[in-house]
Amino acid sequence: MAEAPDTLAVAFELNGAPVEATVEPQTPLIDMLRERFGLTGTKRSCDVQVCGACTVLLDGAPVSSCTVPAFEARGRAVLTVEGFAADDASSPLVEAFVNNAAFQCGFCTPGMLLAAKSLLDADPAPSEETIKDYMRGNVCRCTGYKKIVEAVQEAAEAGR
């Protein structure tokens, strides 16, 4: 049996580009993104997978980067808010967030946008109930949620 290594090479696709990093097993994904790649759009808040501020998409699926280890990215695709925003396809959702005042302090917003993107990828015409249910794991302490629901609805309509 080979001795388990103390560091791991992580080769993955980050916002569409192939990248590599060496991490320790206990390094959470968020630390690799923020500290190795300088992608500080991903925010740490509750640190217990409740609030969603650290949401990134791993092969298109939302995960809590505060807890998912960095090594889980091996061979997979990670999308952060920076990659999302750089993609023209994001503009209906971004504009809907602007038009509906769906952000205030902006700390939850990166995670909120990625959760909303993942919802609209899965269901381009979600009902209000579906939006609330899908997004219930993303906390916003500023807006009161109503305007985010309206923004997602508007983006869904714009995408049709």
Partner 1 sequence: MKPFRLHEPTDVHEAASALADAGGGAALYAGGTELLLAMKSGLLAYDTLINVKSIPGLDAVSADGDTVVIGASATHSAVECDPLVRKRMPLLAEVEHGVANLRVRNVGTLAGNLCFAEPHSDPATLLLVYEAGLDIAGPSGTRRITVGDLQTGSYETSLEPDELLIAVRVPALPAGMCAAYSKFGYHHRPTLGIAAALGVKDGVVTEARLALGCVSPVAQRLSRAEDVLRGERVDTLTEGASALREASRLASEDADAVEDMHGGVDYKEHLVRVFMERTLLRALARNGGGDG
Partner 2 sequence: MTTREFKTVGTAVRRVDADDKLSGRAQFTGDLQVPGMAFCKLVTSPLPHARITRVDASRARALSGVYAVLTSAELVNMETHYGSDKKDRPVIAIDKVRFQGEPVAAVAAIDLATAEAAVELVDVEYEELPTVTGIDEALDPSGEPVHESNVCHEYGYEWGDVDAAFRECDRVFEDTFEFPMVYHYAMEPHTCIVSYEPDRIRLWTSAQHPFLVQAEIARLFGRQLDQVQVVVPFVGGGYGSKSYTKIEPLVTALSREAGRPVRLALSVDEAMRTVRRHAARGTIRTGVMNDGTIVARECTGYVDTGGYTDNGVRVTERFGDRMPGPYSMANVRVKTRGLFTNSTPAGSYRSIGGPQAIWACESQIDVIAHALGMDPFEFRVKNLVREGEEVRRGRRPIEGDLEYALRRVADEFGWNSWRPGPTPPGVKRGIGFACGVTNSGASPTSTSLVRFHADGSATVYIGSAEMGQGSRSVMAQIAAEELRIPYGKVRVVASDTTAVPWDRSTGSSRSTTLMGLAVHDAAIDIRQQLLDLAAEHFEAFPEEIEAEDGRASFKGESVAFAALVRNMFGGSGGELMGRGYVTPKHASGKLRQDTVFWEVSIGAAEGEVDTATGEVRLLRYYSISDPGKAINPKQVEGQDEGAAMQAIGHTFFEEMLYEDGQLLNPNLVDYRVPVFTDLPHEFETVLIESGNGPGPYGAKGVGEGGIVCVAPSVANAIFNATGVRISTLPLTPERVWRALHEAGQEAG
Q: Toward partner 1, which CB reaches closer, 2 or 17? A: 2
Answer whether 111's CB lies under 8 Å from 63's CB.
Answer: no
Any alpha helices (H) in the chain, and if so which ranges? Answer: 29-31, 81-86, 91-99, 109-122, 128-135, 146-159
With CB under 8 A, what is the number of residues at the site for partner 2? 51
In the complex, what is the shortest distance from the CB of residue 146 to partner 1, in angstroms, rounded to a whole number?
20
| Site string (49-88) toward partner 1, x via CB under 8 A | xx-x--x--x--xxxx--xxx-xx----------------
Q: Which does 69 bind (CB under 5 to 8 A by kind): partner 1, partner 2, none?
A: partner 1
78-92 burial code (b ≥16 CB/10 A, e <16): bbbbbbbeeeeebeb
Q: Applying CB under 8 A, does 36 fall inside the site for partner 2?
A: no
Q: Which does 108 bind (CB under 5 to 8 A by kind): partner 1, partner 2, none?
A: partner 2
In the complex, what is the shortest distance from the CB of residue 159 to partner 1, in angstroms, rounded to a whole number?
20
**Parallel/antiparallel/unpaired status of strands 77-79 and 8-14:** parallel
Among 62, 69, 110, 126, binds partner 2 (CB under 8 A): 110
